[in-house]
């Protein structure tokens, strides 16, 4: 018998339920951890508000001239000594007044954003890389490697964070942004290492890790292709929250005279303390900028934590 053929018009498809004559339905794409997290974040008002604030701060740090044309270092002591704010001149040099050296408070608040964000982001990057590697090696290999690295972590964890940083920075007369980042990172990696170690211990017992070992995959491939992507979520949460904490730590060090040499919110808050009885605005506005920045990153970290960990919802 001749083979029967059908034309395209005669072909029919079946649905997932087996009904004839219906177009075939594609299975719904399964979302992973990050897909579910993004779906939750984009409808979370805390994430939206914090993200908008952070984007505004990033633009302010990258392009401060968009917000003011005043020079933050220019001082006119004879003309602008402790001149009070002129709230009628929005975004002008005299909008928020002048400090005891005749410098624009508004210009210094805008330009101080760059230093604070660079210190916070740089410290977070170094701490995440160094602490993440130490924690991943300790958690994956275990045994004496874990014991040695854990005891080293405990030694650094026992040193007060700010006190150790102050002692280290006190030996540097000229403190640049890189110097402050290195000092904060030297004492700040311990929490990240502990979080990564715990996550790796949980992940390395999963079946896909054992399967990779059985297939002959090398240790670097297992660590960076299988373990790290599945253990990095809690580290990202810690890093996001810690970024705001490091910005606050830099301001604290600058307030104590051990931070950056230059335009900084901490330096301006410290200078404003000398004139707080007659010119409270000098301390007020850098403090507001610092509080908003720290709050934005902490809110972002909380939103990311809730999205990545369903138990926190």
Q: Show the domains of the chain with their CATH numbers.
A: 35-73+96-312 (1.10.3720.10)
Its sign, for the CA torsion 175, 253, 248, 63, is negative
Distance CA 56, CA 50 (A): 10
Residue 2 pLDDT grade (very low, low, confident, very high; cuts 50, 70, 90): very low
Over residues 95-108, mean pLDDT? 88
Q: Is the model's pLDDT at 13 over the cut of 70?
A: no
What pLDDT sits at residue 193? 93
What pLDDT sits at residue 128? 94
- pTM: predicted TM-score of the whole model, two decimal places: 0.82
What pLDDT sits at residue 7? 44
* Of 294 and 37, more confident: 294
Q: Is the model's pLDDT at 304 over the cut of 90?
A: no
Q: What are the pLDDT digits (tens) for 58-80?
A: 999 999 988 888 888 888 877 87
Counting every residue, how long is the chain? 313
Residue 310 pLDDT grade (very low, low, confident, very high; cuts 50, 70, 90): low
Distance CA 280, CA 226 (A): 55
**Phi-psi region for residue 262, left (φ > 0), alpha (ψ -120 to 50) or beta?**
left
Residue 27 pLDDT grade (very low, low, confident, very high; cuts 50, 70, 90): low
Distance CA 249, CA 253 (A): 6
Residue 73 has, within 13 A of its CA and on its CB side, a CA count of 3
Over residues 14-24, mean pLDDT? 50
What pLDDT sits at residue 305? 83
Q: What are the pLDDT digits (tens) for 222-249?
A: 888 888 888 888 899 899 888 989 999 9
Q: What is the mean pLDDT of the chain?
A: 83
Residue 182 pLDDT grade (very low, low, confident, very high; cuts 50, 70, 90): very high
pLDDT > 90 fraction of the chain, expressed in percent and rounded? 33
Residue 28 pLDDT grade (very low, low, confident, very high; cuts 50, 70, 90): low
Q: What are the pLDDT digits (tens) for 246-301?
A: 999 999 998 888 888 888 898 888 888 777 788 888 888 999 999 999 999 999 98
Q: Is the model's pLDDT at 46 over the cut of 50?
A: yes
Residue 6 pLDDT grade (very low, low, confident, very high; cuts 50, 70, 90): very low
């Amino acid at each position: 018998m001749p083979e029967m053929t059908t034309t395209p018009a005669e072909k029919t498809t079946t649905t997932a339920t087996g009904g004839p004559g219906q177009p075939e339905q594609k299975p719904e794409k399964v979302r992973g951890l990050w897909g579910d997290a993004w779906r939750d974040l984009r409808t979370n008002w805390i994430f939206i508000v914090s993200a908008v604030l952070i984007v505004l701060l990033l633009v302010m740090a990258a392009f401060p001239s968009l917000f003011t044309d005043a020079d933050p270092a220019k001082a006119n002591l004879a003309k602008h000594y402790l001149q009070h704010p002129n709230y009628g001149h929005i975004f002008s040099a005299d909008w928020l007044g002048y400090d005891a050296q005749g410098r624009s408070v508004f210009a210094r608040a805008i330009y101080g954003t760059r230093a604070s964000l660079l210190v916070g982001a740089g410290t977070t990057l170094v701490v995440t890389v160094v602490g993440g590697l130490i924690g991943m090696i300790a958690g994956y290999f275990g045994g004496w490697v874990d014991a040695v690295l854990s005891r080293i972590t405990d030694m650094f964890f026992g040193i007060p964070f700010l006190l150790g940083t102050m002692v280290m920075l006190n030996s540097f007369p000229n403190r640049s942004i890189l110097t402050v980042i290195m000092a904060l990172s030297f004492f700040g990696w311990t929490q990240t290492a502990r979080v990564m170690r715990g996550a790796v211990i949980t992940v390395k017992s999963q079946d896909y890790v054992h399967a990779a070992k059985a297939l002959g995959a090398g240790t670097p491939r297992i660590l960076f292709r299988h373990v790290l992507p599945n253990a990095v979520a809690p580290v990202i949460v810690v890093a996001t929250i810690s970024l705001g904490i490091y910005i606050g730590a830099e301001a604290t060090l600058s307030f104590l005279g051990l931070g950056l040499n230059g335009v900084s919110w901490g330096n301006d808050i410290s200078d404003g303390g000398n004139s707080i009885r007659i010119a409270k605005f000098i301390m007020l506005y850098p403090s507001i900028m610092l509080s908003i920045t720290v709050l934005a990153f902490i809110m972002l970290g909380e939103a990311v934590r809730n999205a990545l960990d369903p138990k926190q919802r």
